[in-house]
Amino acid sequence: MSVISDYIGVSAVQNVKNAIEAAKRSEGFNALLSLSEERALERAAKVDAGEISGRLAGVPFVAKDNFLTLGGTTTAASDFLRGFASPLQATAVERLEAEGAICIGKSNLDAFAHGGSTENSAFGPTKNAVDDTKVAGGSSGGSAVVTALGIVPFAIGTDTGGSIRQPASFNGVVGVKPTYGTVSRYGVVAMASSTDTIGCFATNAADAELVMDIMAGKDANDMTTLPDFFAPEQPATLKIGVIKEAMTDDVDAEVRASVQAYVDGLKAAGHTVEDVSLPMLKYALAIYYIVVPAEISSNLARYDGIRYGNRADATDLTGVYGKSRDAGFMAENKRRIMIGSYVLSSGFFDAYYLQAQKARTLLIGEFDKLFERYDTLVTPVAPTPAFAIGENATDPVKMYLADVMTVPASLAGLPAISVPANPTAAGLPVGVQLIGPRRSDARLLALAKSQEVA
């Protein structure tokens, strides 16, 4: 694995060449969908000539392939956008480039970010960085794997219900899902607009903080953006709550042991740790899989084969819509469009969508209450370590269960990070999730930093 400081003050052209070579050597992982070698080398030459400077001058990175980028394609790992060349660049990428960072390529994901394993990609699954028989996690699996393999020191991704945190935990890197609104969503393929967030993968908390600080801030193109990556004062010792509903027998024993060891470390560092209860946790998945498909069905309506993406052959307008959508979307995309359309339909809106939004408000209320007494909450990131490729692929409900720990913070708009804890006996990475109140992102990273072994 590599850290950002290794890339600063050395030849940017060499950095880019090394990263591209490493990417090519790691092709078997299927973590990258495209490389933009030419544009990256051009920018690197400008850094070396002193024409581009900044806090990330000459540092190569990878963007999940649902960020619009100049140079190369943006496919969202779908057939719909296969070959799509964007005319503009996402704000997050623009801000990293303004500080001299160099995007070398785009990483694999579950198509349109629907999934938790990167198996739903139209370009085939990404393999886990530690054990290539296991999934990378998802949906930002490619970004997690390129970071864990040390191809780049950081990568960016999106997290709507766990898509940064879960692959970070499956590959043993730090993953940050910020407070909703921290980073502009402009230029990112929309999934569920009320929970979509932009974050990053890095090998340590300090690097992740630098990347978040650069990407964060108000953007006229996204009305939900917050002013900056706020860094509240950090008290010397914190009150930490371990959510007991997240530590039951349903969770893999090795995962629990690993979280417990991390918690013991927090205690040893002088923090107060208590078990706390979040009773609404058991409803979080049900809420998420109503609200999110509803928003997906609306956001994906724009793909009609006319304005965006590839068009199927047909003789009339309805045929163009239907055939293009049939060919462009994958089974999981269609499943969510159908569920979303159903829960929003006039006969069922009150029974499903409205009820789910009410339950979501109750969940948010429970978090608010806990944060009156606790600074940070702890859970595993996922109930198991990385599962085998194919293991959950034919059972969507089993796949959705992998999101049980990560969706609550998404529904409540809270910052949550995944930090590596002790691996399993077989060597598979395990992540601990630290959740904080809104705008406490930097505090979570400071806590993670204090627990990192040098």
Stretch of 156-164, 181-189, 337-345, 358-366 contacting ligand GLN, by CB under 6 A: 156-164
Distances (CA, A) of 107 to 142, 144, 155, 313, 330: 5, 9, 9, 30, 18
Cβ–Cβ < 8 Å for 240, 377: yes
Query: Residue type for 395, please?
Result: D
Radius of gyration of the chain (CA): 21
Minimum CB distance to ligand GLN, residue 143 (Å): 12
Query: Using CB under 6 A as the criterion, what x/- string covers residues 321-360 for binding ligand GLN?
Result: ----------------------------------------
Tally Cβ neighbours within 10 Å of residue 247: 18
**Interface positions, 372-431, toward ligand GLN (CB under 6 A):** 403
Q: Which one of 23, 93, 156, 191 is in contact with ligand GLN (CB under 6 A)? A: 191
Minimum CB distance to ligand GLN, residue 445 (Å): 20
Q: Does 114 engage in binding with ligand GLN (CB under 6 A)? A: yes
Q: Which one of 37, 99, 159, 209 is in contact with ligand GLN (CB under 6 A)? A: 159
Minimum CB distance to ligand GLN, residue 307 (Å): 23
DSSP H or E stretch at residue 379:
strand 376-380
Distances (CA, A) of 2 to 149, 252, 389: 9, 30, 27
Q: 71 vs 115, which CB is nearer to ligand GLN?
A: 115
Minimum CB distance to ligand GLN, residue 225 (Å): 19
Q: Which residue is nearest to ligand GLN (CB)?
A: 163
Residue indicated by tokens 């092709």:
27
| CA-closest candidate to residue 280, choices 417, 408, 433 | 408
CA–CA separation, 118 and 114 (whole Å): 9
**Interface positions, 208-247, toward ligand GLN (CB under 6 A):** none
Query: Using CB under 6 A as the criterion, what x/- string covers residues 273-292 for binding ligand GLN?
Result: -------------------x
Minimum CB distance to ligand GLN, residue 159 (Å): 5
The active-site residue out of 26, 78, 139, 410 is 139
Q: What DSSP state is assigned to residue 353?
A: I
Give catalytic status of residue 163 as yes or no.
yes
Q: Does 128 engage in binding with ligand GLN (CB under 6 A)? A: no
Q: What DSSP state is assigned to residue 283?
A: H
Q: Which one of 72, 100, 116, 141 is in contact with ligand GLN (CB under 6 A)? A: 116
Minimum CB distance to ligand GLN, residue 402 (Å): 7
Stretch of 9-17, 111-119, 356-364, 370-378 contacting ligand GLN, by CB under 6 A: 111-119
Q: Which two tokens stand for residue 204?
A: 């340590």
Q: Which two tokens stand for residue 118?
A: 């990167």
Cβ–Cβ < 8 Å for 67, 90: yes
The active-site residue out of 36, 46, 64, 106 is 64
CA–CA separation, 99 and 55 (whole Å): 5
Q: Does 161 engage in binding with ligand GLN (CB under 6 A)? A: yes
Q: Does 162 engage in binding with ligand GLN (CB under 6 A)? A: yes
Q: Which two tokens stand for residue 222?
A: 């996204």
Q: 139 vs 203, which CB is nearer to ligand GLN?
A: 139
Q: Which one of 58, 60, 71, 115 is in contact with ligand GLN (CB under 6 A)? A: 115
The active-site residue out of 34, 36, 163, 440 is 163
CA–CA separation, 321 and 308 (whole Å): 11
**Interface positions, 303-322, toward ligand GLN (CB under 6 A):** none
CA–CA separation, 280 and 170 (whole Å): 26
Cβ–Cβ < 8 Å for 446, 176: no
Q: Is the peptide bond before 277 cis (omega within 30 degrees of 0)?
A: no
Q: Does 160 engage in binding with ligand GLN (CB under 6 A)? A: yes
Minimum CB distance to ligand GLN, residue 12 (Å): 32
Q: 188 vs 280, which CB is nearer to ligand GLN?
A: 188
Minimum CB distance to ligand GLN, residue 85 (Å): 23
Cβ–Cβ < 8 Å for 254, 135: no
Q: Does 108 engage in binding with ligand GLN (CB under 6 A)? A: no
Q: Where are the beta strands (DSSP E) in 162-286?
A: 174-177, 197-202, 239-243, 272-276
Cβ–Cβ < 8 Å for 105, 211: no
Catalytic residues: 64, 139, 163
Residues forming contacts to ligand GLN in the complex (CB under 6 A) are 113-116, 139, 158-163, 191, 292, 403
